[in-house]
Amino acid sequence: IERSILAMNNKEAEAIMFVEERMPHERESLMNSIRSITAEAIPFTELLPEELPADERARLIREYYGRKTEALDELMACYDNSRK
């Protein structure tokens, strides 16, 4: 579970560095896009019912944060042909 969240956090940091280094002219727009992908008013893990079996909980968390990580990859790929 923590690996999924850590992977998304690492990808978020990578995306921010990418924007800062290679896309400074579009910084505000891209930072808003990154935040829209990663921001959570309430962490997903806290939204899951406690009675959910551990294996199902882990699967849902992996999928949720995996999709966020993929979305960050796709965002960066839109601006970097070497990622396609």
pLDDT of residue 84: 47
pLDDT band at 80 (very low <50, low <70, confident <90, very high): confident
What letter represents residue 14's amino acid?
Answer: E
Q: What are the residue ranges of helices labelled H in 23-82? A: 27-38, 44-47, 54-79
Residues 57, 50: Cα–Cα separation, whole Å: 9
Provide, rounded to the nearest whole percent, the portion of the chain with pLDDT above 70.
94
pLDDT band at 79 (very low <50, low <70, confident <90, very high): confident
Residue 29 has pLDDT above 50, yes or no: yes
